[in-house]
Structure 1
């Protein structure tokens, strides 16, 4: 089931939609008031509305940014004179402001830390005196139980004042968030709508988590990030670690499957007393790697794994066994008990927060690019693939032609190829491209016969070329090969930039490589 982030675009909710939400919010707000704890007013005082102006990247015009978007979400005051909210509310923000409940003033804020993987962010305010009258919401130090009553605080569309909706905890699971991060997720049936993102969810008189998404095409399904995940994020932030440092939550990336099938168990000669998961694809094939194909993992730390790959969370809940990694990992490794060829053994498995991908994501950065004559080169990223991923016809065509953006979607980088280099935009109009079809989205294979490993490598190859002609081949069957005169391409670059109002021929990182050595004839 797909989930949708629950910030809202300002000005886009029509009056009819706003009115359709008002009765539900009013009823829920009344219900909340009748059962509120004595500290309800203090809790309400800790909830803020977050206003952000976002300038997201434009992967198809990597030299520019997408048009500004004004969005709103929610946030909550926490210890340390900070405000906690969702990453998707403030990611790529050029401006952030917060507004307290019942206040007409907006206070400028700055993003202090962000975890895009777990969708969490911390804000600090320009006016620190705000926290003198707005105290932190107390946080529970244990998970709620299924059926516990909850109140969701926030600023969803349909009105401008604080909304409070009532529900119960429906389930607790360990699920993927944003690759490669996974974490606990609490499902509640309280209404979670666009604008609720970053608002606290309260059980009793303490916060149990942060609202972040609702399920698409479903009713009464909302999701919150529990305090356990929030505390991990805060500890990482206190230690000065970020997603880009390769730090964060440790995880297992080995592929396993359940042991429910009798034939599979028979093949492995497992007795009825052996439960766990079977390793189908170890992360590494090295001889020294602790896991091998067909190993059966029976315990992670002291926690027994059942035949569905689950471990006990509490008396009423089970979650995927990978949840225990973040609890038992020490010095970059987790202890496992496994059965291999009938023998029980204990191993120490290396774990990390990152899994390098041939097609990665921007991790909050803007795309790198290089413009050479009428051609724009960039990296193949998840963001670049986003449009194609939602179009079945485009995906089918890319697959048919063997475009690596599709055929190598889940591959890891290697020595031969660190990343994919793509034609990031249609060719700019120019006589040098006469007779060539649009190569937008094609992956560059080689320059004058030299395989391209990365965007930086491509820039280096173009920089150091002395041949009169450049031959650009693409990594797909049925694709054209482009041959262009090198000196004319160099000469055309400036006019292309001027004609299209582009400030620089390259992003700062690629421009530094291009300028390290002046190519002959330039």
Structure 2
């Protein structure tokens, strides 16, 4: 059921005074005598993010400007002052940070490292005055525990001053869905109020950082969730070792397994007391290489028994999926696997050199990255992403099956037809118009060949289409039940005419321009240029000979929101016919959300409405 925007819980925000210090949580295991009192005025930051965003269902549409705000805090890393916030707050072209009071300067911040998998980003301000004023927050040595007294600091919606809410840790999960990446990682749930705008803000316990606010469950009070300090430390350590700007801090074994039951054990000749997992397949690019094989029975990981339900027992007595032990490691670490092959027991050490999602056939891309697309002969070809799957209402059953598949080759992509222009641009031998209506039955199907040429990437398709000399193109699909599709091949001139008539801003995404044969819009006959659409006239003004000025009867086109505070943009929002698992809410993209059990939403507030599940991000959208 879709959740209405008014169903979002609006928490009560309590403003802090400069004299307030962190609420003390007496803990016999912690000596806080040498820890200075937490002061939000010099440790908590208001972050504004400005940039452009693209439509993943209509990538040819001109991107729109967007602004959002969130929270952040100061940490000491590699003996220097840095800022930590959420990845969904920092994914932008321009970032500024500002202290709550005492300094009204907006400082430019640079992204040093960003990890979408754990929704964290590391920023740096290259300014002496900022670094002299900023006071890092020390990191708590342990993970959150139930009943820990905490304070949430940040800049939620409803005001411009820093806020503080108090509560306790009500739940700790070793594996829980992160809305930004759909990866399962530890979270802690709080009774303290968290609202859009709190994203990236510090959660304090005993004057030290215990976590980072980032998401909550829509419509459920006391469901604010935080990234535990252990994940923050993991992120910072990975940055120290690797230093990538865009990366995942968490490795994965990348093998396909199935659970064991009594019948399976009998058929495999295993003792009833044997527990573990059966290896179904090992992708070619898996970090395990040839060390593991199909039908191997995994029994232990790092000496810890794997149970038949694919869980291991952790130190706290909780049973969690076995890959939680993998995610505790860093890229480049090794893991010890014990397994049975045939009637023999074996063990091997595997180097975890693959980051989470690195081998995914269908990637998740940041909202500010232009989706890959190409227009030709009235067909819109795209590279499949998780962003597309979570943004469209159209029937995606034929390509959803690729979502959880690993690539067999580097740079392999799923290329498919996402949209069709029902327009005749060719004639048969008798002079009758030919339409490409038949192509509608092939939407959202993976293309395997074009005119007999194997298609592994969108670049392969573009090069093949651009260089073909035949009068038609034949598309073959990765579906045994699908016939080949043959349609007339539009010339370069005809493609440009279609672009003009249907207000298509670009023939392809900018990264593929080098594959396009050069031809000017000036070559298009003027009689084909203009129609009674102001949208088309406005687009043509910059690229064609002077056009007749629009009349007052023409419809005004909404050009979208901008950083100067103009009206929000609507054309680049999700198509009205798009298919939605959750609801429209104000927040950053929460991709891959249909698998979410509790439907958390990330803490955020933006000026753009997009479909997501009930997981929301607490970052605030700017007007």
TM-score range, shorter chain: 0.7 to 0.9
Where does structure 2 lack aligned partners over 5 or more consecutive residues?
26-31, 427-432, 519-623
| 1: CA distance, partners of 2:135 / 2:411 | 51
| 1: CA distance, partners of 2:410 / 2:101 | 59
Say whether 1:453 aligns with 2:443: no
Q: Specify the SS of the correspondent of 1:349.
A: strand
| 2: CA distance, partners of 1:472 / 1:342 | 48
| 2: CA distance, partners of 1:306 / 1:475 | 37
What is residue 87 of structure 1 aligned with on the other side?
A: 87
1:87 positional shift: 0.8
Say whether 1:361 aligns with 2:364: yes
| 2: CA distance, partners of 1:30 / 1:330 | 43
Where does structure 1 lack aligned partners over 5 or more consecutive residues?
5-11, 517-522
| 2: CA distance, partners of 1:330 / 1:485 | 47
CA contact (8 A) 1:144 1:169 kept: no
| 2: CA distance, partners of 1:250 / 1:55 | 30
Q: Specify the SS of the correspondent of 1:147.
A: coil
| 2: CA distance, partners of 1:316 / 1:337 | 22
User: Higher mean Cα deviation, 277-286 or 212-221?
Assistant: 277-286
**Residues 13, 298 of structure 1: alpha-carbon distance in 2 compared, 3 angstrom cutoff:** closer
Q: Specify the SS of the correspondent of 2:391.
A: helix
**Residues 474, 434 of structure 1: alpha-carbon distance in 2 compared, 3 angstrom cutoff:** farther
What is residue 45 of structure 1 aligned with on the other side?
A: 42
Q: Specify the SS of the correspondent of 1:220.
A: coil
| 1: CA distance, partners of 2:309 / 2:401 | 30
What is residue 235 of structure 2 aligned with on the other side?
A: 233
What is residue 8 of structure 1 aligned with on the other side?
A: none
Alignment of 1:250-329 (within 5 A): 250-256=251-257, 276-284=275-283, 289-292=290-293, 295-306=296-307, 308-315=309-316, 317-327=318-328
| 2: CA distance, partners of 1:330 / 1:244 | 14
| 2: CA distance, partners of 1:416 / 1:241 | 22
Q: Deviations over 1:456-493 (max 9, x none)?
A: 1111112221223333455565778342145xx21123
Picking from 203, 206, 227, the partner of 2:205 is 203
CA contact (8 A) 2:382 2:458 kept: yes
**Residues 344, 329 of structure 1: alpha-carbon distance in 2 compared, 3 angstrom cutoff:** farther
User: Higher mean Cα deviation, 262-271 or 418-427?
Assistant: 262-271
| 2: CA distance, partners of 1:317 / 1:17 | 32
What is residue 384 of structure 1 aligned with on the other side?
A: 388
Q: Deviations over 1:479-510 (max 9, x none)?
A: 78342145xx2112333444556564333332
What is residue 69 of structure 1 aligned with on the other side?
A: 66
CA contact (8 A) 1:368 1:379 kept: yes
1:207 positional shift: 0.4
Q: Deviations over 1:275-316 (max 9, x none)?
A: x53224243489973334554434322444455544454446
What is residue 101 of structure 1 aligned with on the other side?
A: 100
Q: Specify the SS of the correspondent of 2:39.
A: helix
What is residue 214 of structure 1 aligned with on the other side?
A: 216
1:122 positional shift: 1.7
1:251 positional shift: 1.3
TM-score, length-normalised on structure 2? 0.67
What is residue 404 of structure 2 aligned with on the other side?
A: 410
Alignment of 1:108-257 (within 5 A): 108-125=108-125, 127-161=127-161, 162-177=163-178, 181-242=183-244, 248-256=249-257
1:512 positional shift: 1.8
1:243 positional shift: 7.5
TM-score, length-normalised on structure 1? 0.79
Higher helix share: 1
User: Higher mean Cα deviation, 223-232 or 318-327?
Assistant: 318-327
**Residues 212, 62 of structure 1: alpha-carbon distance in 2 compared, 3 angstrom cutoff:** same
CA contact (8 A) 2:301 2:338 kept: yes
CA contact (8 A) 2:46 2:98 kept: yes
**Residues 150, 321 of structure 1: alpha-carbon distance in 2 compared, 3 angstrom cutoff:** farther
User: Higher mean Cα deviation, 277-286 or 105-114?
Assistant: 277-286
Q: Deviations over 1:369-426 (max 9, x none)?
A: 22335433221221122234xx5xx44xx54xxx3x1343333334699322223444
